Amino acid sequence: MDENCTNLWQKLSAALKPQVSADTFKRWFSAVELVDATEGSLTFRVPNNIYQFWIESNHMAALQAAIVTAFGGPREVNFLSPSELADDTAAADATRVEEDKSDSGRGARPTGSALGLNPRNTFESFVVGPNNEIAHAASLAVAQSPAKTYNPLFVYGGVGLGKTHLMQAIGQFVLAKKKNTRVMYLSSELFINEFIDAIQHSNLVKFRKRYRQADLLLIDDIQFLGGKERSQEEFFHTFNTLFDGHKQIVLSSDRPASEISNLEHRLVSRFEWGLTAELQPPDAETRMAILRKKARTMQIKLRDEVLEFLANRIRTNVRRLEGALMRVASFASLSGKELTNEVVEHLLKDILQEEARHSITIEQIQRRVAEHFDVRIADMTSKRRPANIAFPRQVAMYLSRELTKASLNEIGDAFGGRDHGTVLHACKLVKKRMKEQDALRQTISFIDSSLKR
């Protein structure tokens, strides 16, 4: 016990003595040592775990009261007991043998992989580009000082853009820095299942305790909470408890909180409370960087042309990009053949087709817009031009200009043989109105995102 701690302990003892009986003090506190004191927490060493159990159960109120008297404010209290450490290794051994899901890791120190965190998903292995730099920076800030910067952090973006990677990186960063942090990483689906299970076996109290004790709660794919009313309510309370206790919450979703269907308003507003960061599909340079990094970690050597080919042809999804790289690399090492673009193209036929299918056609835009404004598809190409038809048609033209590579003439042709000037006029008009009318801008961005999905 260093001098500082000795002094603090003396101060604390003096404050504690009037709070408990003399016998209690002698029995439970005389053998306690203060070993670490920081701004927010105190760590006591106790001779064995009965001290911890008994003090936690019976004398916590007195101890906290004494801490407030002595130091002017509450502190988090931790206990260290030698026999507990021994127990933990025993428990860890036991669970290794049994590996029973229900009690795995009870008492044992959590390791990343035990929490379902993939050790490969770290900040170091995350490729930062303009598409994700905000999300990355926010995640790093959260990991460096949980609950102090952005709380909650809400990360959203499409499939395979790195939501899970970022969340797991936060979890592992925090765990690596401070071993005793209680990190919980799970998908909202698991949360719902455990909640249902808890209702069924009426052990809600245990369920709540489990979640509300977390120091860092990471919930993946929160959009699955949509439409699950009771789970939402339970999550709402969990959220509040953690938030009020200054615990960090990180959520991920495949769409913005406000677009999750059937999500209660109070949850939406809470999700948007902290920082919302979007992950967008990577641009060509970032895709190239991802491929290079991945190739290096997997120790594959591919010519730059091949990498470039992959980066150019697979645009939407990082996971698919990595899969394609893997496939090309394994083909190269198995067959030993020279990789030309034709060979790669043949090899990735299905993936490339899928990619191509993902590019948006004018026809899709017409269909989607017609559906949204409730007009017939035939109206998109017809000569009729009452306002209720003409305007949707102009919106469709605008979107075609934005989302496809078709020229003005091609777009005009697709809309019943119209002139390129008509298309240009439509684009200008829609742009102007979007500036003026928020509602229209929202409508168009909604159609836009539903097309991209």
Partner 1 sequence: MKFSVTKEKLLEGLQQVQNVVSTRTTLPILSNVLLQANGNEVHLTTTDLDVGVRGSFEAEVEKEGATTLPARRLFTIVRELPSSEIQFDVDGRNAASIRSGQSFFKILGLPEEEFPPLPKFEDAKVVTIRQKDLRDGLRKTAYAISTDETRYVLNGVLFSFKENKLTLVATDGRRLAMVDLELEFPRSHEADIIVPTKAVTELQRLLMDDGEVKVSVGNGQIAFDLNRTLLVSKLIEGNYPNYRQVIPSETKERVTLERETFLNSLRRVSLLASEKSNSIKLNFSKNNIEITANTPEVGEAKESLAVTYKGREFSIAFNPEFLMAPLRNLTEDEVFLDLIDEMSPGVLKIQTPFLYVLMPMRISS
**What is the binding site for partner 1 (CB under 8 A)?**
20-21, 23-24, 27, 48-51, 53-54, 56-58, 61, 83, 86-87, 90-91, 93-94, 98, 100-101, 103, 106-107, 197, 206
Cα atoms found within 13 Å of the Cα of residue 76, Cβ hemisphere only: 12
* Residue 33 vs 354, nearer CB to partner 1: 33
Rounded to 10 deg, the angle between the 387-403 and 420-436 helix axes is 100
* N-terminal to C-terminal alpha carbon distance within the chain: 60
Report the C-alpha gap between 403 and 236 in whole angstroms. 38
* Closest separation in Å from C-beta 129 to partner 1: 42
Count of Cβ atoms closer than 10 Å to residue 367 Cβ: 15
* Residue 51 vs 391, nearer CB to partner 1: 51
* Residue 18 vs 130, nearer CB to partner 1: 18
* Closest separation in Å from C-beta 39 to partner 1: 26
* Residue 54 vs 236, nearer CB to partner 1: 54
Contacts of 89 (CB under 8 A, 6+ apart): none
* Residue 227 vs 245, nearer CB to partner 1: 245
* Closest separation in Å from C-beta 220 to partner 1: 23
* Closest separation in Å from C-beta 115 to partner 1: 16
Report the C-alpha gap between 227 and 405 in whole angstroms. 38
* Closest separation in Å from C-beta 167 to partner 1: 25
Q: Environment class of residue 394 by beta-carbon count within 10 Å: exposed (0-12), middle (13-18) or buried (19+)?
A: buried
* Closest separation in Å from C-beta 397 to partner 1: 56
Q: What is the maximum span of the chain, computed from C-alpha positions, in angstroms?
A: 97
Report the C-alpha gap between 150 and 388 in whole angstroms. 45
* Residue 27 vs 385, nearer CB to partner 1: 27
* Residue 106 vs 179, nearer CB to partner 1: 106
* Closest separation in Å from C-beta 72 to partner 1: 23
List, edge to edge, every strand of the sheet that includes 183-187.
183-187, 216-220, 248-253, 153-157, 275-279
* Residue 49 vs 187, nearer CB to partner 1: 49
* Closest separation in Å from C-beta 21 to partner 1: 4
* Closest separation in Å from C-beta 325 to partner 1: 36
Q: Find, among 246, 253, 119, 241, the residue nearest to 175 by Cα.
A: 119
* Residue 54 vs 123, nearer CB to partner 1: 54
* Residue 8 vs 62, nearer CB to partner 1: 62
- Give the distance, in angstroms, between the CA of residue 416 and the centroid of all CA atoms in the same chain: 45
Mind giving me the DSSP string for 344-377? HHHHTHHHHHHHHHHS--HHHHHHHHHHHHT--T
Count of Cβ atoms closer than 10 Å to residue 347 Cβ: 18
Report the C-alpha gap between 188 and 62 in whole angstroms. 38
* Closest separation in Å from C-beta 200 to partner 1: 8
Report the C-alpha gap between 1 and 3 in whole angstroms. 7
Report the C-alpha gap between 181 and 215 in whole angstroms. 6
